[in-house]
Amino acid sequence: MMYILEDAINGILMGSIYGLTALGLTVIFGVLKVINFAHGSLLMVGMYVAYWTVTLSGLHPYLALVFVIPVMFLFGYYLQDILIKPIFKAEKNVREPITVIIVTTGLWYVLDNLTLLIFGPQYRSIQGNPLQGKMLELGQMLISVPKLWGFVTAILTASIIYLLFQKTRMGRAIRATSLDREAASLMGINQYKVYNVAFGIGTATAGIAAVTLVPFYNIFPTVGVLFDIKGFIIVVLGGLGSIGGAILGGIIIGLIESVAPQFMTATWTEAIVYGLFLLFLFVKPSGLFGMKYDW
């Protein structure tokens, strides 16, 4: 019983990090109404930015957030401005432009292969990482310290984004644009600037998730693919556009992956995850917290 409890706690901690990786994806969908297939690659870019920041400066991995967040926000802001905004302008009468999906899929391949070209296929990890292998003893249980840090970061990030959208002028503009971009434009809101900011926030969130991963996860050019697939499953479970749903969906996946292997093989564990994904698509496609309106 103690081992199951230990696995459940570590599953919740890892699941919250999964949720954090999906949070940026659901923010972008909630505002732009498009699925960003390059989100895993943006996470990968954030991991490399965090890795080189820590390696070159010797900072604690979490202090790298001071550099990673603004860099990733600007990267996402101008990515949206240069690549995606022209599509929205060309297809302004289409609420969910399919062309954006094609462009983000191309961006996924470009970022992954460009990273492979520049840094090579080698697996990298932070040398002298102060969090690596650290465990917290609670009686007979061992709790992963890096994942505990990740859990706290995920909850704080989700809370800050929620308050940003609910309490600030830009947040209200983002919510108004997500509900009806034409009506928002009539009220004087620059919808294209809102899209840039929302994409920047989603990308910066991917950067925060990257910082939580680098203390215990290897970094390589295709690492984003692993979290991209989980991100889509989590967003479907939690509800498209739901901030709390992303974290809860991640925790559900984390619990399944951590506890289920105690009773079955890893192959069946993956089958449960994908089976749950398909079940929600058929029975409740809006997800746990999916609503008519996204925020």
- Domain assignment of residue 23, yes or no: yes
- Domain assignment of residue 56, yes or no: yes
Q: What is the pLDDT of residues 18-64, one digit of tens each?
A: 999 999 988 888 777 777 889 999 999 999 999 999 999 888 889 99
102 sits in the region (left: phi over 0; alpha: psi -120 to 50; else beta) called alpha
- Domain assignment of residue 211, yes or no: yes
Residue among 63, 47, 19 at smallest CA distance from 257: 19
Query: Looking at the 3D structure of the chain, how many domains does it have?
Result: 1
- Domain assignment of residue 292, yes or no: no
pTM: 0.92
Q: How confident is the model at residue 95 (pLDDT cuts 50, 70, 90)?
A: low
- Domain assignment of residue 288, yes or no: no
What pLDDT score does 35 carry?
79
- Domain assignment of residue 256, yes or no: no
Angle between helices 39-57 and 191-213 (to 10 degrees): 60
Residue among 38, 19, 51 at smallest CA distance from 220: 51
- Report for 75-84, 187-196, 261-270: range of highest mean pLDDT: 75-84
d(CA 20, CA 30): 15
Range of the domain at 47: 13-122+129-224
For residue 113, is pLDDT > 60?
yes
Q: What is the pLDDT of residues 184-223, one digit of tens each?
A: 888 888 888 999 999 999 999 999 999 999 999 999 999 9
Q: Mean pLDDT of all residues in the chain?
A: 88
- Domain assignment of residue 294, yes or no: no
Specify the higher pLDDT residue, 277 or 70: 70
- Domain assignment of residue 112, yes or no: yes
